[in-house]
């Protein structure tokens, strides 16, 4: 049996920044006194002249990032998702997105899997906030391979990008030959009974759920939606027409995230039942990350349950 490789996407983010910095001298990195946690410390060590620690002043950091971008730099601004999307929302909106500047936000420690840090740091609202900003691209990678690819794709993209990374080590889904494209979903399994659309760490759980459903004779169309904005509507509509029902799976509030984006897409062109697996509009609590995922139903077992519910609604 092959060894299961587990890596936190925040670790892949830090390594990718160093790799990118070696190839692109125009890249600068900002952090808000969390370089050890966001893993930008590796970039600081490699390129100290291109690294700026703004201290615990996230809003100021975003304004500084915007200013640097106006001079031609490709700027990566990093902090926890709670602070990047929440505390600095106004600056992200007005200073970065409104003038469509080349700032890439590396938001780590997203979702319930922050674990023991508790509700104050478990940001399950960030995708909803960033989705509401015109022109903002949102990427939520499933594993370390996809996280690395997202960093390089973000650097090439003209305009603001919000990248969502996790603290918890997750199994590797893809191999080194994986091709990543912003706004283009990846179909991992083809089926006819139910579509499962997952993002972030829920992709691995969806893979396990698909195995369990197939063992029961249920055919699954499994999609990895790494880019939540712009959503790959073509793939979503095609799957909706093919299977007649959809389950979405995300480590985020069921309001405003992937489930909402998918629902908006299908209701316009191909109305089918959409059942959401996610955080059910509640705050998290302190505890071991893996335990919390099970407590909040962010696991393969709950995806299987909701897939059967979706099928029953057809």
Euclidean distance between CA atoms 78 and 96, whole angstroms? 14
58, 189, 250, 251: the catalytic one is 58
Cβ proximity of 29 and 17 under 8 Å? yes
Structure tokens, 131: 């989705």
Q: Is 176 a catalytic residue?
A: no
Q: For the residues of the chain, what is the DSSP string, one character each?
A: -PPPPEE-HHHHHHHHHHHHHHH-TTEEEEESS-HHHHSTHHHHHH-GGGEEE--S-HHHHHHHHHHHHHTT-EEEEEEEHIIIIIITHHHIIIIIITTT--EEEEEESBSGGGGGG-TTT-B-SHHHHHHTSTT-EEE--SSHHHHHHHHHHHHHSSS-EEEE--SS-EE--S-TT----TT--EEEE--SSEEEEE-TTHHHHHHHHHHHHHHTT--EEEEE--EEES--HHHHHHHHHHHS-EEEEEEEESSSSHHHHHHHHHHHH----EEEEEE-S----SS-HHHHHHHTT-SHHHHHHHHHHHHHT-
Active-site residue list: 58
């Amino acid at each position: 049996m092959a060894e299961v490789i587990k890596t936190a996407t925040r670790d892949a983010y830090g390594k990718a920044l160093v790799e990118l910095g070696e190839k692109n001298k125009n890249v600068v990195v900002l952090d808000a006194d969390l370089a050890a946690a966001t893993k930008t410390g590796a970039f600081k060590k490699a390129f100290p002249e291109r690294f700026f620690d703004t201290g615990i002043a996230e809003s100021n950091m975003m304004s500084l990032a915007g200013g640097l971008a106006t001079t031609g730099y490709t700027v990566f601004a990093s902090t926890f998702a709670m602070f990047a999307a929440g505390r600095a929302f106004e600056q992200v909106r007005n200073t970065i997105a409104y003038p469509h500047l080349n700032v890439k936000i590396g938001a780590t420690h997203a979702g319930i899997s922050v674990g023991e840090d508790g509700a104050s740091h478990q940001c399950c609202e960030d995708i909803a906030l960033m989705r509401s900003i015109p022109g903002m691209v949102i990427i939520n990678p499933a594993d370390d391979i996809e996280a690395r690819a997202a960093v390089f794709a973000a650097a090439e993209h003209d305009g603001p990008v919000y990248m969502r990374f996790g603290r918890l080590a997750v199994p590797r889904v893809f191999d080194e030959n994986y091709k990543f494209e912003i706004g283009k979903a990846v179909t991992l399994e083809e089926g006819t009974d139910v579509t499962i659309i997952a993002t972030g760490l829920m992709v691995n759980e969806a893979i396990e759920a698909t195995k369990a459903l197939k063992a029961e004779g249920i055919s699954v169309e499994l999609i990895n939606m790494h880019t939540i904005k712009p959503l790959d509507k073509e793939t979503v509509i095609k799957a909706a027409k093919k299977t007649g029902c959809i389950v979405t799976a995300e480590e985020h509030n069921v309001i405003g995230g992937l489930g909402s984006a998918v629902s908006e897409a299908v209701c316009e062109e191909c109305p089918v039942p959409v059942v959401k697996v996610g955080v059910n509009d509640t705050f998290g609590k302190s505890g071991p990350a893996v335990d919390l995922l099970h407590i909040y139903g962010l696991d393969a077992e709950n995806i299987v349950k909701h897939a059967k519910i979706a099928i029953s609604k057809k």
